[in-house]
């Protein structure tokens, strides 16, 4: 009589580098402190971070979003992690009684680099997503800067003798290398200030490595989050089944059919508590066990 091969319990592994970065945790700490201490209204200038769930949570605590300084008078205004233009900051300080700058320090570095290159006579090129708040803030410090999303966008662009490059913090170094290769030979001098955040690079490398070892990859983070979308893009090149979600409610059991290894990663705007909730739900739907670093494995909680 033939024997039935026992079903193997799927493993669930979280990427070694995943979730909220220093800049996001810093911004959340600043806003939570403001919400507990302020006597008047507290608003953020644009979404504090690109995570709709977190923005909704903040609203329940009375921290609302203003799309421009003109919507605000008095109270406390928090500058988003992605930064703002110098003009927006000036208007914010004129409108609010108190301004808290939650701009990520790595974004500020990009702002300063663009401003310095511009002041030194370089034609500034920003590698990033046109229209993204971070890129708009950077361009505000070098108003004549050209924004490109890749080397192909240089077609038809007339370059000056001196070209300076700054990078959206969530871009990949592969794209930066392609851009620099295209610039060399077309400009007399190319100066590059690598303003990619190391946390971004670490998350991308970790997600790529894990995606190549699993059957299904779950990427957690806002669909409006540039770094999370980049993680999903990178994982798609390594794993055939990739699902980008904003929360556990989007998960479907059918995604894990036949999977023996499930990977999870999260963007830099995703707090640990959201990762924990998603992992628990993945375990429920797949019957899998969550691997805990440093141990053999632990049952999905």
DSSP string across 242-256: EEEESSGGG--GGGG
Determine the Cα–Cα distance for residues 57 and 173; give it in Å rounded to an integer. 33
Of the residues 17, 88, 89, 134, which is catalytic?
134
Half-sphere exposure of residue 247: CA atoms within 13 angstroms, side-chain side: 6
Determine the Cα–Cα distance for residues 157 and 238; give it in Å rounded to an integer. 34
Active site residue 134: yes
Whether the CA torsion 63, 273, 248, 131 is positive or negative: it is positive
* Neighbour count for residue 75 (Cβ, 10 Å): 17
Number of residues assigned to the chain:
301
Q: Which residues contact 147 (CB under 8 A, 6 or more apart)?
A: 125, 126, 128, 130, 135, 139
CB contact burial 86-123 (16+ within 10 A = b; e otherwise): eebbebbeebbeebbbbbbebbbebbebbbbbbeeebb
Q: For tokens 């490398």, what's the residue?
A: 205
Distances (CA, A) of 263 to 10, 34, 239: 10, 36, 10
The secondary structure of residue 144, as a DSSP letter, is T
- Give the catalytic positions in this structure: 134
């Amino acid at each position: 009589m033939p024997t039935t091969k026992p079903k193997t319990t799927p493993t669930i592994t979280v990427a070694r580098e995943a979730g909220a970065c220093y800049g996001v945790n810093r911004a959340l700490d600043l806003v939570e402190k403001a919400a507990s201490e302020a006597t008047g209204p507290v608003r953020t200038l644009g979404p504090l971070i690109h995570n709709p769930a977190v923005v909704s949570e903040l609203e329940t605590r009375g921290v609302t979003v203003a799309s421009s300084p003109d919507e605000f008078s008095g109270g406390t205004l928090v500058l988003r992690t992605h930064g703002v233009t110098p003009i927006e900051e000036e208007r914010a300080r004129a409108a609010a009684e108190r301004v808290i700058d939650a701009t990520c320090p790595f974004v500020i570095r990009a702002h300063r680099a663009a401003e310095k290159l511009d002041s030194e006579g370089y034609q500034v090129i920003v590698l990033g997503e046109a229209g993204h708040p971070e890129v708009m803030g950077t361009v505000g410090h070098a108003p004549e800067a050209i924004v490109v999303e890749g080397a192909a966008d240089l077609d038809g662009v007339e370059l000056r003798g001196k070209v300076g490059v700054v990078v959206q913090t969530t871009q990949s170094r592969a794209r930066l290398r392609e851009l620099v290769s295209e610039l060399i030979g077309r400009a007399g001098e190319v100066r590059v200030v690598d303003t990619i955040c190391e946390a971004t690079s670490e998350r991308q490398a970790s997600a790529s490595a894990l995606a190549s070892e699993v059957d299904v990859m779950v990427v957690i983070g806002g669909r409006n989050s540039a770094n999370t979308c980049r993680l999903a893009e990178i994982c798609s090149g390594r794993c055939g089944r990739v699902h980008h979600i904003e929360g556990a409610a989007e998960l479907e059991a059918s995604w894990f059919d036949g999977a023996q290894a499930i990977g999870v990663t999260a963007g830099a705007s995703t707090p640990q508590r959201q990762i924990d909730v998603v992992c628990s739900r993945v375990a429920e739907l797949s019957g899998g066990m969550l691997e805990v670093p440093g141990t053999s494995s632990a049952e999905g909680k």
